[in-house]
């Protein structure tokens, strides 16, 4: 099973702000078309990203997935192509054990930078990033000496 969920309102208040109306109003990521691979994540509020500016953006979202899956976060094509706006880490990797971790419930943030020469204006509800669930493979000889992420699941 894989799914997106909102973080709890308590986590929302801690990471974003104490605004129940905003919390109740925002949407989970969605695919725009039947054959789209990526789920669009939406801006919670309006913001402007000036040329060369970097912003850390909360999504209010956490993701649950199967043990052999990862959620990859990538730029929306139009963001880079039209506006020269990119995620600072190019590709975000959300592991299964990030979900419901003790630090922040698995709240997904992105960090974007405007490498263009014009302001990048985002309105509440605009798509800001996309997520793709992917299967991954393991090396046969990796062993079992892993550190567990502290989690509530």
Tell me what pLDDT residue 143 has. Answer: 75
The 8-class DSSP code of residue 98 comes to G
Tell me what pLDDT residue 122 has. Answer: 97
Q: Please report whether residue 143 resides in a domain.
A: no
The CATH number for 80's domain is 2.70.40.10
Q: Please report whether residue 127 resides in a domain.
A: yes
Collapsed DSSP state (helix, strand, coil) of residue 83: helix
- Spatial distance between the Cα atoms of 51 and 72, rounded to a whole number of angstroms: 26
Tell me what pLDDT residue 126 has. Answer: 96
Of 17, 152, 42, 49, nearest to 108 by C-alpha is 42
Tell me what pLDDT residue 148 has. Answer: 67
Tell me what pLDDT residue 152 has. Answer: 46
State the residue range of the domain holding 76. 3-135
Tell me what pLDDT residue 150 has. Answer: 59
- Beta-carbon count within 10 A of 63 CB: 25
Question: What percent of the residues of the chain are helix, what percent strand, and what percent coil, each to the nearest 5?
Answer: 15, 35, 50
Q: Please report whether residue 140 resides in a domain.
A: no
Q: Please report whether residue 121 resides in a domain.
A: yes
Q: Please report whether residue 147 resides in a domain.
A: no
Q: Please report whether residue 142 resides in a domain.
A: no
List the chain pLDDT tens, one digit each, 153 residues.
999 999 999 999 999 999 999 999 999 999 999 999 999 999 999 999 999 999 999 999 999 999 999 999 999 988 888 999 999 999 999 999 999 999 999 999 999 999 999 999 999 999 999 999 999 999 988 877 777 665 544
Tell me what pLDDT residue 77 has. Answer: 85
Number of domains within the chain: 1
């Amino acid at each position: 099973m894989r799914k997106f969920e909102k973080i709890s309102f308590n986590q929302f208040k801690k990471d974003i702000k104490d605004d129940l109306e905003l919390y109740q109003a925002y949407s989970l990521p969605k695919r725009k078309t039947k054959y789209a691979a990526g789920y669009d994540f939406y801006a919670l509020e309006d913001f402007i990203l000036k040329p060369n500016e970097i912003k850390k953006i909360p999504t209010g979202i956490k993701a649950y997935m199967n043990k052999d899956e990862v959620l990859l976060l990538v730029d929306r094509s139009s963001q880079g192509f039209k506006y020269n706006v990119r995620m600072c880490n190019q590709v975000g990797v959300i592991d299964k054990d990030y979900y419901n971790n003790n630090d922040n419930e698995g709240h997904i943030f992105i960090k974007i930078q405007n490498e263009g020469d014009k302001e990048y204006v985002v309105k509440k509800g605009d798509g800001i990033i996309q997520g793709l669930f992917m299967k991954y493979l393991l090396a046969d000889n990796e062993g079992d000496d892993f550190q567990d992420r502290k989690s509530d699941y």
